Each structure stands twice: as C-alpha cells, then as structure tokens.
Amino acid sequence: MSANDSINNKQSIAGEVGKNTIFPVSGIRLATAAAGTKYQDRDDVAIIEIALDSSVAAVFTKNAFCAAPVQIAREHIAKTTPQYLVINAGNANAGTGQQGYANGLEICTVVAKTASAPVETVLPFSTGVIGEQLQVDSITALVPTIFASLNEQGWEAAAAAILTTDLVTKIASTKVDIDGTEVTITGIAKGSGMIRPDMATMLAFVATDVKIKPEVLQHLLKESVSESFNRITVDGDTSTNDACLLIATGKINDIYINKTDSETARKFLQGLIQICKSLALKIVSDGEGATKLVRVLVKEGKNADECFNVAYTVAHSPLVKTALFASDPNWGRILAAVGRADVDTLDINKISIFLDHVCVIEKGVPAEKYTEMDGNEIMQQSALTIEIRLGRGTIAEHIWTTDLSYDYVKINAEYRT
C-alpha cells in the first residue's frame, strides 16, 4: 500500500464514523484566530466562553510529567467554576519548567483582564510539540480579536483550530428527549497519535444546556469517559496534556439533574455516552497513518481487568498491528499476544479467536473449517473485529485500535521538522 493510499483510506475510515448536524449550546460561545506559532494559513488558538452559573467537570491525564496547562487548570478548577477556556495548538507547553508555568498563567491573566474576570476562572489547554516554550505574545495579542468574535455558532471553527497532526476535525452533536424537553449535547475533540488511556493525547470539550449538580456532572463525565475515550489506543503512549471537560450551562430551567441514579440522569447519560463514543471513534479512526479501525473484543473473562489486559496486549502488539496493515490474517501473532497477556492460569485449550464472524482458532487449535481465503476477505476490510473468547467466565470488554503503517513512522519521525 502506498503512502497516498494509506492517507486516503485513513480519511475514509474516519468519515465512516458519521457526520452530525451541529447544534449550538445555549450559554456557550466560541471563537478562534491564527497565532502562526507553528501552523501557517490556519487558526490555532480558540477561546470558549462559559455562561455564569454553569457547572463544569473535568478529568485530566494521569501522566506524572503533566504539562503546565494541566497543572494550572487543575489548580484553577479546584478554586472556582471556569468561565473561559483558552486552547492553543502546535505547542504542548510540556517539559517547560517554571517558565512554561509562568507562560500559561500569563495567557490566563490576559484573558481574565479582557473579560474582567478573576484569573482562576480561566483554564488553559495546549497541544503539540513537547519541550518548547510558548510564544506568549503571539497568543495574547489575539485575545481582544477573539473576544470580539465569540458566538454560539463557533463549534466547527474551534474543532479545526485545536488540531495538530489530525487529518479531520472531531465534532459530534445530538438532541436528547428528556421528559418531553429537547436537550442539546455538543462536543469537539482532537487527537491522532500518542493515543492510550488515560486518556490519550487528546483534548475534548463537551457541553449541554441542562442544569446538572456539580457532583453529579463529575460522575456522569467519568462514566462517559470510561465507555469512550478510555477505550481507545493507537500506539500505547499516554500524553502529558490530556483533558476532557463537560459543561452544563443550565439554560434549560425545567430540567435539573441532581441525582446520579435518577431516570433523568440515565437518559442524559445515554446521550452523553453517544457523543463521547462518536468523538473517541473519530480520534482512533484518525490515528496517525491508520488504514483500519479495529475493535478488540474479549469475552468469557473472569473479570473486566483481565479482559482489558488481553485486549490491550493484542492492540499494542507491533506484529499484530503490522499484520493488520498488510491485511494478513496471521492469527499466530494474535495467539502469541493473548498468551503473553498477564492472565493467571490461562488455559490455552479453552481459547477461541474470531476475525469478525470467521472462527480462526477453536479451543486452542486452528478451526477445522477455517481457510486462508476467509481470513483474507475479513482482513481486507477497513473496519473489523478481533474477538477473543477466554473460556474462563462471563465478563466481556472491548476497546478500539488501529493498524501500524509506514505513515505512522513517517509522521512521527518528521513531527518536529
């Protein structure tokens, strides 16, 4: 497969995830501008304004080497409810020490002064190259212009401005009927490489017009992230800058979600998971150099941990991933990955493996009816499922991953040039 074929197929599978009508969220305004610090002829800075009296929940990277904007955002959100989010693309402001922290804080200060708001109400987010200092003046000079352009229709512009190596924008939007009232949920994300929970090199911002109690909002965010962003992996690398925010503006006054176990919360969570899954699949489909979207499903496990263990071992195997890129049904690589997963007392004589509906391994040995032709037919697809049955219990878990192509190496080898 040529490099151009790889890129075209990558764009195709990213598109398969689906497109949405974008519904604005009352109480959210967005705008963008071009600082030109890394990218030319495109916007690379975005500001999101959040209405007063909103609730905001957040989850951040677990990487110990977290970036300056993550440190600042954690500190600020612990003190008060955010009113402004400022995002720059092209520079991660990670590994930049005290100067990086000061730079991030200076950007927050300029945004706060422009808005006549406390600096703690501003959260910074950065994505891009690690280890380079931010060009602060180039970003802060844009703040007045961005503020003058803030509008409820700015979702698509913001989705484009926060991209780095991404080939496509990630945006999803829906309306959910809750007790006869239409509720809007809209979100944007970025991410392409350095993808692995928790939470992938991604930024995601999701908003709704429902009124939700802050503690309940945090619970709903964690539940939705668990079912979406924390189930994707491209290369197994966890970023320094990951963040996901859920904003509830409360502009729909006749719905108030104040309990996690209420029917209203359940209905809302279904819509929220739908949006987060859509964004997560767009991220993994747009994996750097990816030509295939692969679901790894592990069934018949004793518990969720061992199912995830097997799934990630298979998904992170370079040999499995390169076989996927070659459309080669080399089931021996999958079998070997399952065997080295950290699962106690694994009985290989109980393991079965499927490529979509085609049984490749049955009870530890090649399936009697399997043919190479059947395997080749499945592997030619741009989207497929690797199903592994452990024969140990009743638990099933799944994740999404990609293949490993020539372009992944090329993109990452040339990332700083």
Angle at Cα 92 formed by Cα 90 and Cα 93, nearest 5°? 125
Residues in CB range of 52: below 8 A, 6 or more apart:
83
At what angle are helices 263-285 and 214-226 packed, to 10 degrees? 40
Q: Which of 277, 48, 267, 283 is CA-nearest to residue 175? A: 267
List the structure tokens of 127.
């994505």
Strand partners, 189: 170, 204
Strand partners, 359: 354
Q: Which residues are catalytic?
A: 201
Q: Please count the other Cβ atoms lying within 10 Å of the Cβ belonging to residue 12.
A: 12
Give 166-169 contacts, CB < 8 A, sequence gap 24+: 166/190, 166/191, 166/192, 166/286, 167/7, 167/10, 167/11, 167/14, 167/192, 167/286, 168/11, 168/14, 168/15, 168/282, 168/286
Q: Which of 388, 390, 396, 394 is CA-nearest to residue 348? A: 390
Q: Please count the other Cβ atoms lying within 10 Å of the Cβ belonging to residue 4.
A: 9
